Amino acid sequence: MTSEDVEQRLRDAVRELMPRARADLEALVALKSVADPRQFPPEECARAARYLVEAFTEAGLRDMRTVPAPDGSEAVVGHAPGPAGSPTVLLYSHYDVQPPLDDSAWRTPPFELTEGEDGRWYGRGAADCKGNIVAQLTALRALRAVLGEREDGTGPALPVHLKIVSEGSEEQGTGGLERLVPEQPELFSADVLLICDAGNFAPGLPTATTSLRGIANVVVTVSTLEGEMHSGMFGGPAPDALAALIRILDSLRDEHGDTAVRGLPADGRWDGVEYPAEQFRRDARVLEGVRLAGAGSVADMLWARPAVTVLGIDCPPVVGSPGAVQASARARVSLRVPPGTDAEAAIAALTTHIQGAAPWGARVEVEREGIGRPFSARTDGPAYEALGEAMRAAFGAEMVRSGQGGSIPLCSELGEAFPKAEIALIGVEEPSCLIHAPNESVDPREIERMALAQALFLLAYAARGGAA
- Collapsed DSSP state (helix, strand, coil) of residue 144: helix
Annotated catalytic residue 96: yes
Catalytic choice (44, 74, 96, 422): 96
**Residue 116, amino acid:** G
Run of H or E including 15: helix 3-29
Q: Where are the strands (E) in 307-429, listed by range?
A: 307-314, 324-325, 328-337, 363-372, 375-376, 400-404, 422-425
Spatial separation of the C-alpha atoms in residues 173 and 27, rounded to whole Å:
25
How many other C-beta atoms are found inside a 10 Å radius of the C-beta of residue 148? 10
Widest distance between CA atoms in the chain: 88
User: For residue 40, is it left (φ>0), alpha (ψ between -120 and 50) or beta?
Assistant: beta
| CA distances, 171 to each of 125, 148, 375, 408 (Å) | 11, 36, 18, 10
Strands 422-425 and 114-115: unpaired
How many other C-beta atoms are found inside a 10 Å radius of the C-beta of residue 283? 16
Q: Which residues pair with 308 in a beta bridge?
A: 335
Phi and psi angles of residue 229, each rounded to the nearest 5 degrees, phi first: -125, 150
Spatial separation of the C-alpha atoms in residues 295 and 262, rounded to whole Å:
17
DSSP 8-state secondary structure symbol assigned to residue 198: -
Strands 307-314 and 328-337: antiparallel
- Collapsed DSSP state (helix, strand, coil) of residue 312: strand
Catalytic choice (170, 178, 422, 446): 170
| Cβ partners under 8 Å of residue 428, min gap 6 | 127, 131, 132, 135, 199, 200, 442, 443, 446, 447, 450
| CA distances, 196 to each of 135, 266, 426, 442 (Å) | 9, 29, 5, 14
Annotated catalytic residue 170: yes
Sheet of 114-115: strand order equals 114-115, 121-122, 441-442
Positions marked active-site: 96, 170
